[in-house]
């Protein structure tokens, strides 16, 4: 007798936790001293699936007060149907932003649950095309001293990561020498920069040529993400061999469709904690594959490792400093990369980790 395929969703819960950073941090356009983790639990067939997003505590409230009722009683295996039902329900609340993050956390939980019900690691359920995915170290905040910047990036390079990323944009006049300091610390390791939309287009173009002198090969969000015309102008005029990356604020498949077909970017980023979870990320990956566009994931490394091994256009995932610290602390089964590559634990079903709810209790908001 085969496994059951008619398992109704019995319960949905959501929790929010505020985790302080090691020290105050900033990028080109934002400063923060804590990160809010929203965790969703979906139960069916005597098992629990975990999903999460980095958002606001309001996302947990939205899940509990609205979306839990949408999912209860639905088939735990019908992830696409659940995804469509949640999106339809949220029509009048607005699909992007916090709504999309709520859907994302729940969709990840549903996929984790489905894989567990089948007794499969999520990477196997999705269909692997590689046994591990490359990672790049990401941090280098604008709030760091030069010594802190150099030590962090150099540590990732010494661990075998072929790429590292730093923040720019807070002080444009200082950015060229900060980039040079990073290059000095990492040797031949590939260097990425992320402006978080801090520059105007002409300013970004000028700085791109300065950054190229230090061997920068990736320029992320050089201008505000909503300025597609400005981003395209930057892409057309920066030095050859430097990618323009973006997409972390894509919430719906149509967002990625526009970014790809308006020739705005040369490298797409998608974030399963924002773009509709596993289901939404797979749709973004399909669009990239059709357009021959390389794909990278944004943040939340524990969530993206299975996707990184299953999505054909995926090139690497982001080993983001703040999220690494959180996930290592609160996820039992957290995995670290080896020689710059992160592999899923194929001995564990689902995403490969369990949320340590008791350990997180003191951080609840």
The alpha carbons of the chain give a radius of gyration, in whole angstroms, of 20
Residue 219, judged by CB atoms within 10 A of its CB (0-12, 13-18, 19+), counts as buried
Strand order across the 31-44 sheet: 11-26, 31-44, 47-54
| 9, 43 contact by CB (below 8 A) | yes
β-pairing verdict for 354-355 and 331-332: antiparallel
Q: Which residues are bridge partners to 243 per DSSP?
A: 218
CA–CA gap between residue 166 and residue 316 (Å, rounded): 16
CA–CA gap between residue 342 and residue 222 (Å, rounded): 28
What would the DSSP string read from start to end of 215-228? Answer: TEEEEE-SS-TT-H
CA–CA gap between residue 351 and residue 109 (Å, rounded): 9
Question: Element (H or E) spanning 268, and its range?
Answer: strand 267-270
| Proportion of the chain in helix, strand, coil states, percent, rounded to 5 | 40, 25, 35
CA–CA gap between residue 50 and residue 105 (Å, rounded): 8
b/e map 147-156, b = 16+ CB within 10 Å:
eebbebbbeb
Residues tagged active-site: 167, 298
| 263, 255 contact by CB (below 8 A) | no
- Cβ neighbours of 195 (radius 10 Å): 27
């Amino acid at each position: 007798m085969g496994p059951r395929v008619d398992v109704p969703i019995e319960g949905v819960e959501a929790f929010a936790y505020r985790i302080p950073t090691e020290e105050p941090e900033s990028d080109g356009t934002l400063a923060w001293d804590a990160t809010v983790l929203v965790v969703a639990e979906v139960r069916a067939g005597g098992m629990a699936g975990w999903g999460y997003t980095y958002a606001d505590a309001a996302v947990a409230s939205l899940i509990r007060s609205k979306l839990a009722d949408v999912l209860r009683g639905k088939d735990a295996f019908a992830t696409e149907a659940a995804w469509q039902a949640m999106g339809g329900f949220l029509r009048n609340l607005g699909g992007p932003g916090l709504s999309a993050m709520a859907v994302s956390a729940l969709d990840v939980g549903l996929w984790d649950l489905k894989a567990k019900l089948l007794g499969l690691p999520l990477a196997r359920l999705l269909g692997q095309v590689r046994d591990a995915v490359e990672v790049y170290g990401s941090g280098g905040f604008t709030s760091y001293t030069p010594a802190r910047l150099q030590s962090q990036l150099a540590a990732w390079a010494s661990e075998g990561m072929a790429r590292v990323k730093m923040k720019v944009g807070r002080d444009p006049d200082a950015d060229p020498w900060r980039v040079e300091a990073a290059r000095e610390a990492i040797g031949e390791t590939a260097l990425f920069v992320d402006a978080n939309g801090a520059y105007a287009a002409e300013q970004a173009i000028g700085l791109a040529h300065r950054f190229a002198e230090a061997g920068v090969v990736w320029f992320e969000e050089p201008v505000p993400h909503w300025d597609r015309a400005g981003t395209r102008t930057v892409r057309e005029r920066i030095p050859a061999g430097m990618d323009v990356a973006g997409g972390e604020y894509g919430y719906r498949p149509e967002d990625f469709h526009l970014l790809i077909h308006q020739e705005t970017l040369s490298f797409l980023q998608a974030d399963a904690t924002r773009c509709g979870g596993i289901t939404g990320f797979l749709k973004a990956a399909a669009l990239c594959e059709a357009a021959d566009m390389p794909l990278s994931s944004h943040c939340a490394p524990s969530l993206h490792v299975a996707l990184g091994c299953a999505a054909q256009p995926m090139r690497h995932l982001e080993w983001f400093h703040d999220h690494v610290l959180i996930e290592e602390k609160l996820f039992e089964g957290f995995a670290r990369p080896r020689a710059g590559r992160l592999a899923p634990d194929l001995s564990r079903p689902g995403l490969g980790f369990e949320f340590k709810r008791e350990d997180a209790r003191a951080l609840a908001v």
